């Protein structure tokens, strides 16, 4: 009525199967542990690269793509170990786009840390104070590793010249946007702390006058004095009579005039010819820097109404006067300096000409 008990042979076969399975399982675990230990050692071992290398994580690149590219570039020995290490450290989504410097011998762990926590390589572009918007866009177009085009030329006087840092692949428009934001922030702070007696009604008027100050002098210490001249003139209802404003009316900020102003240009009535119009010109004539904005907002307290160049170069600065008679004396002094500089230049050119003629004559004699 009852089945026959299993034979000893059957029980032994089952035990053998179980023992075999357990042996295989133990062996698999040992192999797996060995692989993991080996993988960990490879992950932290010194890398293959013998020199510093620049590696770029492109926008949209995921862990698998980056690992494959690192392996293809010979920077890691096994992409799967790199992927496993990233997952173990919970950094599979932590890679940041950008350009990175990987040092010689960097391990996979080092590379993962650099690509997820490091600072990308940066570049910079400098815009001199007093650049027009056209000049700024031209320099942006020349800057390396920036992308995209500037569709619309920014309004004059809305950008803050400075040195701007960017990463490979940043857009030109993003740099412009930062310049606009920096300008707006600086202007708001400076306007809030301006001299209350300024003959200016709006921040925009401050920018216009600061742009004139910027173009009139390249000497840092002179800006507050130059600003005082124009402020004093505005208070007295005197015309500003600034050459740079008249020049801007001709060039519109594109390129340079490349010559002196003509009589007809000084006499032409335009929105920018401050020899012919009262008050400020129609708009800024450049993008003033921080120092010019500050100097214009808080100019020196002077009685100056005139200034003229003190020497033949911009670095020589200016001579200031409180009345027209003294100004005429300063102008006479400047013209004397100009004549002397012109004579020296002519003399230098003549000496160079004579030297070249002598060389040619000696060469001709030697040939005969």
Q: Is the same domain home to 83 and 139?
A: no
Q: Give a yes or no: residue 36 inside a domain.
A: no
Q: Is the same domain home to 159 and 212?
A: yes
Q: Give a yes or no: residue 128 inside a domain.
A: no
In the chain, how many domains are there?
A: 2
When mean pLDDT is compared across 79-83, 251-255, 329-333, 348-352, the lowest value belongs to 348-352
Q: What is the pTM of this model?
A: 0.78
The residue whose two tokens read 């040939």 is 367
Of 117, 149, 169, the residue that ends a domain is: 117
Of 254, 273, 304, the residue that ends a domain is: 304
Report percent pLDDT > 90 for the chain: 66
Give me the sign of the Cα torsion angle 162, 166, 168, 174: negative
Q: Is the same domain home to 113 and 137?
A: no
The residue whose two tokens read 């002519």 is 346
Residue-wise pLDDT for 149-182, tens only, equals 998 999 999 999 999 999 998 999 999 999 999 9
Q: Is the same domain home to 78 and 179?
A: no
Reply yes or no on whether the pLDDT at 104 is more than 90.
Answer: yes
User: Which pLDDT does position 333 carry in this prediction?
Assistant: 92
Q: Give a yes or no: residue 193 inside a domain.
A: yes
Reply yes or no on whether the pLDDT at 352 is more than 80.
Answer: no
Determine the Cα–Cα distance for residues 20 and 9; give it in Å rounded to an integer: 16
Q: Give a yes or no: residue 238 inside a domain.
A: yes
Residue-wise pLDDT for 281-324, tens only, equals 999 999 999 999 999 999 999 999 999 998 878 888 999 999 99
Q: Is the same domain home to 96 and 195?
A: no
Task: Write out the E strands in the chain.
Answer: 53-57, 98-102, 122-126, 163-167, 306-309, 318-321
User: Which pLDDT does position 343 carry in this prediction?
Assistant: 77
Reply yes or no on whether the pLDDT at 202 is more than 90.
Answer: yes
Q: Is the same domain home to 112 and 139?
A: no
Of 117, 151, 172, the residue that ends a domain is: 117
CATH number of the domain within which 111 lies: 3.30.1490.480
Question: What mean pLDDT comes out for the span 199-216?
Answer: 98
Q: Is the same domain home to 75 and 142?
A: no
pLDDT band with cut points at 50, 70 and 90 for residue 258: confident
Residue-wise pLDDT for 55-74, tens only, equals 999 888 999 999 999 999 99
User: Which pLDDT does position 240 carry in this prediction?
Assistant: 97
Determine the Cα–Cα distance for residues 176 and 157; give it in Å rounded to an integer: 12
Range of the domain at 58: 53-117
Residues 6+ apart with CB under 8 A from 160: 179, 180, 182, 183, 186, 287, 289, 290
Reply yes or no on whether the pLDDT at 6 is more than 60.
Answer: no
pLDDT band with cut points at 50, 70 and 90 for residue 12: low
Q: Is the same domain home to 145 and 70?
A: no
Reply yes or no on whether the pLDDT at 125 is more than 80.
Answer: yes
Q: Give a yes or no: residue 200 inside a domain.
A: yes
């Amino acid at each position: 009525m009852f089945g026959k008990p299993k034979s000893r042979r059957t029980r032994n076969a089952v035990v053998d199967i179980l023992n075999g399975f357990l042996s295989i399982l133990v062996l698999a675990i040992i192999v797996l542990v060995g692989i993991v230990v080996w993988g960990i050692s490879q992950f932290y071992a010194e890398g293959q690269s013998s020199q510093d290398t620049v590696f770029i994580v492109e926008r949209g690149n995921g862990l698998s793509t980056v690992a494959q590219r690192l392996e293809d570039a010979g920077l890691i020995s096994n992409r799967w170990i790199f992927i496993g290490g990233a997952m173990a450290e919970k950094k599979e989504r932590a890679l940041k786009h950008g350009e990175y410097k990987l040092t010689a011998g960097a391990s996979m762990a080092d590379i993962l840390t650099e690509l997820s926590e490091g600072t990308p390589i940066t570049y910079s572009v400098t815009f001199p104070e007093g650049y027009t918007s056209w000049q700024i866009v031209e320099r942006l177009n020349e800057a390396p590793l920036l992308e995209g085009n500037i569709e619309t030329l920014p309004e004059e006087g809305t950008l803050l010249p400075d040195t701007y840092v960017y990463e490979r692949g940043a857009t030109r428009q993003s740099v412009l946007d930062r310049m606009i934001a920096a300008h707006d922030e600086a202007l708001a702070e400076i306007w809030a702390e301006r001299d209350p007696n300024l003959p200016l009604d709006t921040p925009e008027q401050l920018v216009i006058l600061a742009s004139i100050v910027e173009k009139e002098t390249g000497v840092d210490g002179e800006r507050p004095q130059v600003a005082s001249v124009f402020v004093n003139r505005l208070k007295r209802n005197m015309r500003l009579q600034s050459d740079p404003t008249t020049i801007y009316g001709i060039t519109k900020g594109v390129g340079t005039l490349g010559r002196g102003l003509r009589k007809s240009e000084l006499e032409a009535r335009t929105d920018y010819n401050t020899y012919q119009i009262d008050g400020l010109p129609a708009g800024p004539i450049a993008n003033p820097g921080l120092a010019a904005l500050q100097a214009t907002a808080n100019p020196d307290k002077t009685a100056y109404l005139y200034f003229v160049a003190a020497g033949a170069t911009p670095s020589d600065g200016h001579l200031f006067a409180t009345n027209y008679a003294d100004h005429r004396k300063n102008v006479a002094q400047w013209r004397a300096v100009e004549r002397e500089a012109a004579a020296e230049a002519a003399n230098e050119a003549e000496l160079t000409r004579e030297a070249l003629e002598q060389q040619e004559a000696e060469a001709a004699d030697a040939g005969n």
